[in-house]
């Protein structure tokens, strides 16, 4: 039994949508994308395609909302990306029949490395964040030049744990799937007829070679979603969550630490009191 199933059996909390709820959520997101583009008086949208389930789902929804001609995909690979990433991203763009460009970000990242102090470039996380922020700059460069909005690809599981780069992959105009846990994104993707190998693809932020989301966070998305639903978004204590789910106290503690430590990412930059 997965923790998603245990959650429903033991608490009545259902993370996955019913068929009617899923259809309603899909319609709501499509309408949201339409409204964002219309209110911005934009010509369409830019979506950064990684081949992962989040960007793929957003691309499918964007095409449903705006039409293929109004969606521009960007593939922004670096030396940290596996060749399969680019292949999957191209497959998504080709399937959806959207315009797309591939921009290698290595030369840009290399320029930062050459300009930065030695102690900064030796830090793997610092360099990974440069890659992510470089992609954000390119997203907006293309979007501004073409009078488009930048559609984010972040989900709720990432947002609640701070699993994103500040002013990087969350530097966007909106997050169409921002209220969905990872398990819900996968469910929505299947309803959009996204190929199953992309639905189940190992998530990675492409920050360094071999990096994966679940290894870096220390637990799988199934566990993460259940803990978030019960202990962060829900009313249960850490102890009660451990008792309810097949998740150890260390794992629950890890999720709570990630949530608390990333509070600054979910708030506007602080300023001193005016008085």
Q: Is residue 62 part of a domain?
A: yes
Domain presence at residue 171: yes
pLDDT, mean over the chain: 90
DSSP string, 125-182: HHHHHHHHHHHHHHHHHHHHHTTEEEBP---HHHHHHT-S-TTTTT-SSB-TTTT--H
Please state at what angle helix 53-66 crosses helix 182-191, rounded to 10 degrees: 50
Q: What is the pLDDT of residues 120-161, one digit of tens each?
A: 667 788 888 999 999 999 999 999 999 999 999 999 999 999
Looking at residues 74-99, what average pLDDT do you find?
A: 88
Q: Is 272 part of any domain?
A: no
pLDDT level of residue 213 (50, 70, 90 thresholds): low
> Would 118 be classed as within a structural domain?
yes
The CATH code of the domain that includes 184 is 3.40.50.620
The 10 Å Cβ neighbour count of residue 225 is 28
pLDDT of residue 261: 96
Structural domain span for residue 22:
16-206
Q: What is the pLDDT of residue 207?
A: 57
Domain assignment present for 170: yes
C-alpha to C-alpha distance for 215 and 198, rounded to whole angstroms = 19
Q: In the predicted model, is pLDDT for residue 186 greater than 80?
A: yes
- Three-state secondary-structure class, residue 101: strand
Give the pLDDT mean for 46-67.
97
Q: Which residues contact 163 (CB under 8 A, 6 or more apart)?
A: 157, 205, 213, 216, 217, 258, 262
Q: Which pLDDT score, from 0 to 100, does residue 125 have? A: 85
- Is residue 180 in some structural domain? yes
Residue 261 within any structural domain of the chain: no
Helix, strand or coil for residue 74? strand
- In the chain, the number of structural domains is 1
pTM, to two decimals: 0.91
The mean pLDDT of 44-70, rounded to a whole number, is 97
Which of these, 172, 258, 227, lies nearest to 4 by C-alpha position? 227
């Amino acid at each position: 039994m997965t923790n998603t199933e245990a959650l429903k059996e033991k608490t009545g909390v259902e993370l996955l949508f019913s068929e009617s709820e899923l259809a309603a959520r899909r319609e709501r997101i499509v309408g949201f994308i339409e409204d964002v583009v219309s209110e911005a008086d934009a010509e369409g949208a830019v979506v950064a395609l990684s081949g992962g389930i989040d960007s793929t789902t957003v691309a499918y929804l964007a095409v449903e909302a705006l039409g293929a001609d109004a969606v521009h995909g960007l593939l922004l690979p670096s030396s940290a990306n596996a060749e399969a990433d680019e292949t999957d991203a191209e497959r998504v763009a080709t399937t959806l029949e959207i315009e797309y460009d591939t921009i290698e970000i290595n030369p840009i990242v290399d320029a930062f490395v050459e300009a930065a102090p030695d102690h900064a470039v030796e830090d793997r996380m610092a360099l990974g964040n440069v890659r992510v922020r470089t992609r954000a700059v390119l997203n907006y460069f293309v979007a501004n030049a073409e009078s488009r909005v930048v559609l984010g690809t972040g989900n709720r599981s990432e947002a609640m744990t701070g699993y994103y780069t500040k002013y990087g992959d969350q530097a966007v105009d909106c997050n169409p799937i921002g209220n969905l846990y990872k398990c819900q994104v996968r469910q929505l993707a299947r309803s959009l007829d996204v190929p199953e190998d992309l639905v189940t693809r190992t998530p990675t932020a492409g920050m360094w070679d071999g990096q994966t989301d679940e290894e870096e966070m220390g637990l799988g998305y199934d566990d993460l979603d259940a803990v978030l639903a019960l202990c962060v978004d829900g009313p249960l204590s850490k102890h009660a969550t451990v008792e309810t789910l097949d998740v150890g106290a260390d794992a629950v503690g890890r999720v709570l630490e990630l949530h608390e430590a990333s509070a600054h990412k979910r708030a506007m930059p602080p300023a001193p009191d005016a008085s």
